[in-house]
Amino acid sequence: MIRKPVVAGQFYSGTASELRQELSRLIPNVNERRRVIGVISPHAGYVYSGSTAGQLLAGIQIPRTVIIIGPNHRGAGSQVALSPDDGWQTPLGIVSVEKRLAGLIKKWIPAVREDGIAHLNEHSIEVQIPFLQYLRDELFILPLCLAFGDYAGSDIVGKGLASAIREFDEEVLIIASSDMTHYESAEMAKGKDSMALNRVLALDPEGLVEVCRRNRITMCGVIPSATMIVAAKELGAVKAELLSYTNSGAVTGDYRQVVGYAAVEVS
């Protein structure tokens, strides 16, 4: 089966020609692309966070296979949900799901389930895909939606992902899909997001989860981000870099209630 897009025409342009034009504005031309293990990329409507995601993904090498870890905003379905579909469709075409890697993930992470309900109306993974399609022709994805809320789960899933990737024996990029603080003043959001991003830059996934819980930081993809960091460290990552931070007020002009967006690479 093919998973149809649910936010095309809402979060991003709904036709191929319009979407390519939109992406061409959001993705800069770069001379050199860095090799990284994982990234944190925002998932709001492209008018708000697309330039942040575009700047991030334009500057890195996109391998053939990309794992995209998204939060489960609606809480439906399994807590660790792989997409059961053969491919995901966007206005730019269909991207196949990497089934061999999916099998290895099921082997190494007993809690994982193939569950389309978790992915049915979830936008956090979908909005990443057009950027990848624009930047690379030969592409396979592995969509993974997480609904649990504890670091222990991130540790288990992250280490399982790393083991699966090692056995897969091909280069894989891990994208953690996340926005930052939601609906607070720009000043408050920046302060809270700095606390979270400091833990990310220290490659401290447990600290990231703890600081978000303790300070009520509404980083929706904190668990996908912590999971990515665990996996990246297992695969040899030694540093993280913040490439960009902004908020929705930069577009709307309203800084009283914003959503924060960060672009981070882990290598």
Residues 6+ apart with CB under 8 A from 130: 12, 19, 23, 90, 91, 92
3-state secondary structure of 258: strand
Q: pLDDT class for 30, splitting at 50, 70, 90?
A: very high
Number of neighbouring beta carbons within 10 Å of residue 77: 18
Predicted TM-score (pTM) above 0.95: yes
Q: Which domain holds residue 175?
A: 2-266
Are 36 and 229 in contact, with CB atoms under 8 Å apart? Answer: no
Structure tokens at 167: 């056995």
Name which of 122, 163, 160 is nearest 143 in CA terms: 122
Strand segments (E) across 98-253: 113-114, 140-146, 172-177, 182-184, 240-247
Residue 126's pLDDT is 98
Q: What is the pLDDT of residues 226-267, one digit of tens each?
A: 999 999 999 999 999 999 999 999 999 999 999 999 999 999
The per-residue pLDDT of the chain, averaged, comes to 98
Residue 8's pLDDT is 98
CA atoms of 64 and 76, how far apart (whole Å):
30
Residue 52's pLDDT is 98
Instruction: Find the CATH number of the domain harbouring 120.
Output: 3.40.830.10
CA atoms of 207 and 202, how far apart (whole Å):
9
- Whole-angstrom CA distances from 158 to 101, 228, 267 are 14, 6, 15
Residues 6+ apart with CB under 8 A from 28: 54, 55, 58
Average the pLDDT over 14-27 and give the result. 98
Residue 51's pLDDT is 98
CA atoms of 213 and 28, how far apart (whole Å):
35
Q: What is the pLDDT of residues 96-106, one digit of tens each?
A: 999 999 999 99
Structure tokens at 257: 């209630």
State how many domains the chain has: 1
CA angle 180, 254, 208 (to 5 degrees): 15
Please give the backbone phi and psi of residue 166, each rounded to the nearest 5 degrees, phi first: -60, -45
Q: What is the pLDDT of residues 153-167, one digit of tens each?
A: 999 999 999 999 999
Residue 222's pLDDT is 98
Dihedral over Cα of 178, 53, 61, 130: its sign: positive
Residue 50's pLDDT is 98
Q: pLDDT class for 213, splitting at 50, 70, 90?
A: very high
